[in-house]
């Protein structure tokens, strides 16, 4: 019995020793596994961080810097290229368009007014606070002195102290009513008109104060009679007064 007991104890010791040996081996294996696993985790973390951080920075920099440079270069370069490479082509004008441009360039103030105003507005033209009949007679008197040579309208308007617009409308009116003719001329690189008298207007102003209209001895007046227009004192006085009036108005 003692022998059996001893053998059993020995076997138990062997089994325990084997178990201890197995435990030690397991510990060694576990330690080697940990040693192999930890660096792998660190490298994985590092690579993960690099994958998350570094490419993000580069892409951010590229997104912020590179496109801006490209757009700046494009903004600076492209318009210049377009301006150089694609000049605006002048549209070719037709013959009618060229003629119309020339006509507009040669338009005088009178012609512009003729296009703006109706016939009635020209023929019924009046200057405020001005006796138009008297003004017409004055224009005709001045032009009559120049005879067929006429007078540049700018010169005439200065003499009458009229604006160019009023003078132009007056010239149109006098032409429409047949008192003057207008001759278009190029003077000092500008188109203007020379006014020439066509006919003298009939005016009653010159005989309004004539003594013959109210003469008390009209029935006795005759060329061969004692009372005659050739020796009438009333007519002589009236003529002198009218001459003085006309000299003052000039």
- Between 102 and 24, the more confident residue is 24
pLDDT score, position 60: 46
Distance CA 15, CA 205 (A): 163
The stretch 15-32 carries a mean pLDDT of: 80
The stretch 201-206 carries a mean pLDDT of: 58
pLDDT at 138 > cutoff 60: yes
pLDDT at 217 > cutoff 60: yes
pLDDT at 40 > cutoff 50: no
pLDDT score, position 213: 77
pLDDT score, position 195: 92
How far lies 158's CA from each of 46, 87, 102, 174, in Å? 99, 50, 29, 17
3-class DSSP assignment, residue 129:
coil
pLDDT score, position 31: 78
Instruction: Quickly state the pLDDT bin for 64 (edges 50, 70, 90).
Output: low
What integer best gives the mean pLDDT of the chain?
74
pLDDT score, position 44: 46
Range in 82-96, 119-133, 169-183 with the lowest mean pLDDT: 82-96
pLDDT at 73 > cutoff 50: yes
Instruction: Quickly state the pLDDT bin for 63 (edges 50, 70, 90).
Output: very low
Do residues 170 and 125 make contact, with C-beta atoms less than 8 angstroms apart? yes
Burial environment of residue 170 by CB neighbours within 10 A (0 to 12, 13 to 18, 19 or more) = buried
List the domains of the chain with CATH numbers: 97-202 (1.10.10), 206-249 (no CATH)
pLDDT score, position 69: 52
Instruction: Quickly state the pLDDT bin for 38 (edges 50, 70, 90).
Output: low
pLDDT score, position 224: 82
Range in 8-12, 98-102, 133-137 with the lowest mean pLDDT: 98-102
pLDDT above 90 coverage of the chain, percent: 5
Do residues 200 and 208 make contact, with C-beta atoms less than 8 angstroms apart? no
- Between 118 and 47, the more confident residue is 118
Do residues 151 and 143 make contact, with C-beta atoms less than 8 angstroms apart? yes
pLDDT at 67 > cutoff 60: no
Q: Encoding tokens for residue 160?
A: 């009458």
Distance CA 230, CA 228 (A): 5
pLDDT score, position 196: 92
pLDDT at 78 > cutoff 60: no
The stretch 34-52 carries a mean pLDDT of: 54
pLDDT score, position 250: 53
């Amino acid at each position: 019995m003692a022998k059996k007991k001893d053998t059993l104890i020995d076997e138990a010791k062997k089994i325990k020793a084997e178990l201890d040996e197995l435990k030690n081996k397991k510990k060694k294996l576990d330690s080697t596994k940990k040693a192999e696993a930890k660096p792998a985790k660190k490298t994985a973390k590092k690579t993960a961080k690099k994958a998350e951080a570094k490419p993000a920075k580069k892409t951010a920099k590229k997104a912020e810097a590179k496109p801006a440079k490209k757009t700046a270069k494009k903004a600076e370069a492209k318009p210049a290229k377009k301006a150089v490479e694609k000049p605006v082509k002048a549209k070719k004008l037709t013959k009618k368009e060229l003629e119309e441009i020339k006509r507009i360039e040669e338009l005088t103030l009178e012609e512009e007014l003729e296009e703006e105003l109706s016939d009635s507005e020209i023929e019924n033209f009046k200057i405020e606070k001005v006796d138009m009949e008297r003004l017409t007679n004055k224009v005709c008197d001045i032009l009559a002195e120049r005879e067929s040579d006429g007078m540049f309208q700018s010169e005439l308007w200065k003499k009458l102290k009229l604006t160019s617009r009023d003078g132009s409308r007056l010239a149109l009116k006098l032409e429409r009513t047949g008192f003057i003719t207008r001759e278009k001329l190029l003077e000092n690189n500008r188109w203007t008109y020379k006014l020439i008298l066509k006919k003298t207007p009939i005016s009653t102003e010159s005989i309004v104060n004539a003594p013959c209209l109210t003469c008390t001895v009209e029935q006795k007046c005759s060329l061969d009679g004692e009372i005659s227009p050739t020796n009438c004192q009333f007519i002589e006085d009236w003529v002198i007064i009218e001459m003085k009036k006309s000299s003052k108005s000039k």
